[in-house]
């Protein structure tokens, strides 16, 4: 009987996302600090002998994440991850993939990248290609800027496109509230709006340097200090494309979040809480204000992509 292999990969929040001027390849050099949080994508892989790839997508049981808009063809990053493993290791077999989504779709939390990371690990195992973690990390960088971090997990600084990682020391657990929107924001559009705002002087270009206060707050395990230190250069562009997100930030701030910010390229808004209890209180406040389509809580840092044993 063919065995089904399961891997799970975490979502991320960017505690620092500093964006440099667009380069000739169309990408922006970044200095970013990622934290993996415990919202997971699971990818199941079952090898098939006829060389075909199939894909289905479901929402995780009990999760408010809406999986209906996710493509189930070769445009899906998980599909491309399977193709990349097959071509890199000379695999002629196919695979049935099933994605079980627990991360907001097109939300700025790297759900699609988590699918790719989980598919890399699951396919490498299902086809028994004997890949090292380092080999998978190199394949991850070819699939997307955030895929290497989803593989790595924990806390890390990313430079280049955000794909060149260095681990960062962090103490304790941080409690987050995650407010999602049904309508997504396209990452390239948000970067294009960033370029427009810089050219129009609606936003200043920050130095591409790691923020020492972010590192210090992480090492101290101090959510209040971390809240003061977080910075996201894509927040302005995301807000100008979706102004109603201002209201989400205001409501989280009313509930005394240590920080409320757009996650990555948005439109998900994340709020940092002082404790688990405080996170539940902020979540209740956001739900009552009806400013988000779904409100979840999450904790970080958490491990990167791992195989899940039944």
* Known binding positions: 104-114
* Pair 9, 118: CB distance under 8 Å: yes
| Shortest spacing between CB 188 and ligand C5P, in angstroms | 4
| Shortest spacing between CB 280 and ligand C5P, in angstroms | 32
Residues 14-43, interacting with ligand C5P (CB under 6 A): 26-28, 30
CB 21: neighbour CB atoms within 10 A?
11
Q: How many residues belong to the site for ligand C5P (CB under 6 A)?
A: 12
Q: Which of the following is catalytic: 8, 96, 115, 146?
A: 146
Asked if 149 is part of the footprint of ligand C5P (rule: CB under 6 A), the reply reads no
Residues 162-181, interacting with ligand C5P (CB under 6 A): 162
| Shortest spacing between CB 3 and ligand C5P, in angstroms | 31
Tell me whether residue 204 is exposed, middle or buried, using C-beta atoms within 10 angstroms of its C-beta: 0 to 12, 13 to 18, 19 or more. exposed
The verdict on whether 38 is a catalytic residue reads no
Residue selected from 6, 8, 12, 161 as contacting ligand C5P according to rule CB under 6 A? 161
Q: Which of the following is catalytic: 12, 96, 163, 222?
A: 12
* Pair 80, 123: CB distance under 8 Å: no
Burial 183-193 (b: 16+ CB within 10 A, else e): ebbebeebbeb
* Binding residue numbers for ATP: 104-114
* 278: CB partners within 8 A, 6+ apart: 175, 256
Given the complex with ligand C5P, which of 11 and 252 has the nearer CB atom? Answer: 11
The verdict on whether 93 is a catalytic residue reads no
Strands 164-167 and 155-160: antiparallel
The CA R_g of the chain, rounded to the nearest whole Å, is: 19
Contacts to ligand C5P by CB under 6 A: 26-28, 30, 144-146, 161-162, 187-188, 191
Q: Which residues are catalytic?
A: 12, 146
């Amino acid at each position: 009987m063919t065995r089904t292999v399961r891997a799970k990969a975490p979502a991320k929040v960017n505690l620092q996302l500093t964006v440099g001027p667009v380069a000739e390849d169309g990408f922006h050099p970044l200095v970013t600090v990622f934290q993996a949080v415990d919202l997971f994508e699971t990818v199941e892989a079952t090898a098939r002998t006829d060389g075909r790839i199939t894909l289905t997508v479901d929402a995780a049981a009990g999760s408010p994440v809406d999986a209906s808009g996710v493509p189930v063809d070769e445009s899906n990053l998980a599909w491309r991850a399977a193709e990349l493993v097959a071509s890199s290791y000379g695999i002629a077999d196919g695979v049935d993939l099933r994605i079980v989504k627990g991360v907001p779709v097109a939300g700025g939390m790297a759900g699609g990248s988590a699918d790719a990371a989980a598919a890399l690990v699951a396919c490498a195992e299902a086809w028994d290609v004997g890949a090292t973690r380092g080999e998978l990390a190199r394949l991850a960088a070819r699939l997307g800027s955030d895929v290497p971090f989803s593989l790595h997990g924990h806390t890390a600084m990313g430079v280049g496109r955000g794909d060149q990682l260095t681990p960062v020391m962090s103490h304790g657990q941080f409690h987050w509230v995650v407010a999602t929107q049904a309508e997504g924001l396209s990452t390239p559009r948000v970067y294009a709006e960033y370029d427009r705002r810089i050219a129009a002087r609606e936003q200043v270009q920050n130095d591409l340097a790691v923020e020492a206060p972010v590192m210090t707050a992480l090492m101290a395990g101090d959510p209040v200090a971390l809240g003061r230190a977080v910075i996201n250069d894509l927040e302005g562009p995301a807000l100008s494309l979706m102004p109603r997100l201002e209201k989400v930030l205001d409501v989280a701030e009313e509930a005394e979040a240590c920080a409320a910010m757009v996650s990555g390229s948005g439109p998900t808004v994340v709020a940092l809480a002082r404790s688990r209890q405080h996170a539940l209180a902020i979540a209740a406040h956001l739900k009552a204000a009806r400013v988000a389509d779904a409100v979840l809580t999450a904790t970080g840092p958490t491990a990167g992509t791992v195989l899940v044993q039944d």
